């Protein structure tokens, strides 16, 4: 893998992980850093569907259109395609550990471990919440994207 590649994983791939994908894509473009970015879910309920309308609205508030994103399920091959795979909460991290091939190239971790003072915490799952929960999730994924860009840019 010549250029870094990052996969964000949440449960259904319609709220948190597409927002994380969007935040990192935007930060990478601003910084002029070449990085492949994608997102997926550990579950298969939403495969092929666009992000939750509230996630689309929140990303749009930051000038990013994610309406064309489509949910997909994480698979073992992702561990060979991506240099970094970040789960958005501890349960999805455990689920990813169960599907990871014995030998793989990806660095697997919890996204908020990147943010000082947030180690071991989850990005809030806004699915059953209100607009403010999507704002909080965006703030989390944006903070992590900023740290990640700093690390990838070295």
Please enumerate in sequence order all residues whose Cβ is within 8 A of that of 144, keeping only pairs 6 or more positions apart, or say none: 20, 23, 86, 111, 112, 114, 115, 123
Identify the bridge partners of residue 38 per DSSP, sorted by sequence position: 7
Contact between residue 35 and residue 28 where contact means Cβ atoms under 8 Å apart: yes
- Concatenate the DSSP letters of all residues of 120-150 into one string: TPPPP--TTS-HHHHHHHHHHHHHHHHHHHH
Catalytic site residues? Answer: 10, 16, 125
């Amino acid at each position: 893998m010549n250029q870094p590649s990052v996969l964000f994983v949440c449960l259904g791939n319609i709220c948190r992980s597409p927002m994380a994908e969007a935040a990192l894509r935007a930060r990478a473009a601003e910084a002029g850093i070449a990085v492949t970015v994608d997102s997926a879910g550990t579950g298969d309920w939403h495969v092929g569907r666009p992000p939750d309308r509230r996630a689309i609205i929140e990303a749009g508030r930051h000038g990013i259109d994610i309406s064309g994103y489509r949910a997909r399920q994480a698979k073992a091959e992702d561990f060979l395609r991506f240099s970094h795979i970040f789960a958005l909460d501890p349960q999805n991290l455990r689920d990813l550990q169960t599907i990871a091939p014995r030998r793989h190239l990806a660095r697997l971790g919890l996204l908020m471990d990147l943010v000082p003072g947030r180690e071991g915490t989850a990005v809030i799952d806004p699915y059953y919440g209100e607009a403010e929960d999507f704002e909080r999730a965006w703030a989390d994924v944006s903070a992590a994207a900023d740290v990640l860009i700093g690390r990838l840019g070295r």
